Amino acid sequence: MKKNLTPIYILVLFNMAILSPAFSRSLSWSDCVKQLVANNPELEILQHKLAAAEYLLKGTYSGFYPKVASNFTYYYKQSDSNINSKTITTYGKEYDIGISLSQNLFAGFQDQAKIKQVEAKILKLQEEVRIGRAQISYDLKSAYAELLFAQKAVTLQKEILVRRENNLRLVELRFENGRENKGSVLLSKAYLQQARYDKLQAHNNMEVAQSKLIKLLALDNNDHLELIVNDEPPRVAIPSNLQSQTYQALMRNSPNYKQLVAAEQQSAADLKLAKANFFPTLNLTTTFNKNGERWFPSDNRQWQAGIVLSIPLFSGGNDYYSVKNSVENSIIAALARQNGEREIVNKLKTAYTAFKEAIEKLLVDESFLQASMVREEIARNKYNNGLTSFDDWDTIENELITRENGVLESKKNRVFMEANWELAQGKEAF
């Protein structure tokens, strides 16, 4: 008997392993922040970009230091000479070693301009990192809130489903007693079917939200992971009132504005570098060489030092038009900064207004929900006692369900608007 049942048990266990998720994992907000900082590849890319730019800046300072080079050369020689109408061929070899040193004394201000270029580039990258971190912070808070309230929506739809089942039984009982009509029964059945569909949709939305957050956190085994979040992100206090001067201060501290300033600085450095081509350059050079037929050569020695002055005379107009191009780019950068200031202030005002309205909307919806819960309880008792019609009770019941869903949506929207307000300022939640 045991031998016959064993394959069945194995088949059941195999199907359970396939149909059920491998494991579930519960994370708090702080857990998600730690996981994001440790694993998110976009954050790592931003840090490597910044490190690469800093190395580039260090390399730019090389223009102020001397350049030292050495050379090692080996020659194999063959020469023919005609002596008394006879050709005599001789073979030989020669070694040559040397060392050279050069120091730039003046490069037409090119070195300073190159440093300013790279410094502006690093500033832009630093602000790019801030913008990237703020965007990732927004993505995390949005994805976290989406999953959190998707979970709550599943719980709410389960409760609504139970209430719809109880309502149907109540209406059917009254119909059997001749106190309700067939249309009310059919409508109650339709409500029950709608509740089942809403529960299915809520569950699907939760799975999509899980997948989104799993991807953002770069969690392993994401195909078999059921992710659960268990607390709300800490709320950010909203300023009571913002004046135009406050918006200007927020704008000037935002990474988007600082990127525009860095772009303007880089354009100024480009112009200075273009103008440097019209200046002469001055270099100090010195070399020391030895050559001979044996290694290490010591037969012939040569040492020389000198100063090289190079004066540009004509480059076919390339330098002139390069300056003109840099001037136009400088004007473009200045205009872009001015336009960017207005755009950033507008985004800040829009984000602040939306956040403030989301907070007030949640308070309003919660007040309506509290009233609807009391009205539904009263209406249900009246309907049980035959003191109100099905239509009146049905209207109040549907209003309660609408208000419950509305509060849940308002809570989620508040978190979204909070994250958007932080994003507009270039702030991050980690």
Instruction: With a cut of 90, say whether residue 424 has pLDDT above it.
Output: yes
Mean pLDDT of 107-134: 87
Distances (CA, A) of 327 to 96, 269, 320, 321: 49, 11, 11, 10
Tokens of 412: 């989620």
Residue 12, pLDDT above cutoff 50: no
Angle at 409 between CA 405 and CA 411, to 5 degrees: 120
Q: Is residue 2 part of a domain?
A: no
Question: Is the confidence at residue 193, as pLDDT, over 50?
Answer: yes
Range of the domain at 299: 24-63+70-81+90-425
Q: Is residue 207 part of a domain?
A: yes
For residues 265-282, give the mean pLDDT: 88
- How far, in Å, CA of 24 to CA of 26, rounded? 7
Q: Does pLDDT of 10 surpass 50?
A: no
- Within a domain: residue 394? yes
Cα separation, 215 vs 221, in Å, equals 11
| Per-residue confidence (pLDDT) for residue 226, from 0 to 100 | 87
Peptide bond connecting 296 to the previous residue in cis, omega within 30 degrees of 0? yes
Q: What is the mean pLDDT of residues 180-189?
A: 96
**In the prediction, which pLDDT does 291 show?**
75
CA triple 363-368-373, angle to 5 deg: 125
pLDDT of residue 358: 96
Mind listing the pLDDT tens digit for each residue in 49-103? 888 888 887 887 777 778 888 888 877 777 666 766 676 776 777 777 888 888 8
Contact between residue 393 and residue 180 where contact means Cβ atoms under 8 Å apart: no
* pLDDT (0 to 100) of residue 221: 58
Q: How far is CA 331 from the centre of its chain?
A: 30
Determine the pLDDT at residue 6.
55
For the chain, what is the mean pLDDT?
87
- What CATH number does residue 369 fall under? 1.20.1600.10
Tell me which of 2 and 119 has the higher pLDDT.
119
Q: What is the mean pLDDT of residues 357-376?
A: 97
pTM of this prediction? 0.79
* C-alpha separations of 425 from 14, 119, 176, 232, 387 in Å: 52, 24, 63, 22, 57
Amino acid making up residue 295: W
Say yes or no to pLDDT of 156 above 90.
yes
Report residue 204's pLDDT band, with 50, 70 and 90 as the boundaries: very high
Question: Quick one: pLDDT at residue 80?
Answer: 66
* 9: in domain: no
Q: Is the predicted pLDDT of residue 208 greater than 50, yes or no?
A: yes
18 pLDDT above the threshold of 50: no
Q: Tell me, yes or no, whether 197 lies in a domain.
A: yes
DSSP letters, 87-134, are EEEEEEEEEEEEEEEEEEEE-TTHHHHHHHHHHHHHHHHHHHHHHHHH
| pLDDT (0 to 100) of residue 223 | 61
Identify whether the C-beta of residue 106 lies closer than 8 Å to the C-beta of residue 278.
no
Structural domain total, the chain: 1
Domain for residue 338, yes or no? yes
What pLDDT is attached to residue 275? 87
| Mean pLDDT, range 186-194, rounded to an integer | 97
Q: Within a domain: residue 1?
A: no
pLDDT at 430: 77
In this structure, the chain runs to a length of 430
Cα 112 off chain centre by: 33
> Taking 50 as the threshold, does the pLDDT of residue 244 lie above it?
yes
Distance CA 428, CA 423 (A): 7
Whole-angstrom Cα Rg for the chain: 39
CB atoms near residue 403 (< 10 Å): 21
Q: State percent of the chain over pLDDT 90.
A: 52
Digit-coded pLDDT (tens) for 67-81: 888 888 877 777 666
Say whether pLDDT at 178 is over 80.
Answer: yes
Average pLDDT over residues 321-329: 91
Rounded mean pLDDT, 184-209: 97
pLDDT for the residue 5: 47
Confidence of residue 241 (pLDDT cuts 50, 70, 90): confident
- For residue 224, give the DSSP letter: G
pLDDT recorded at residue 68: 85
In a domain, 358, yes or no: yes
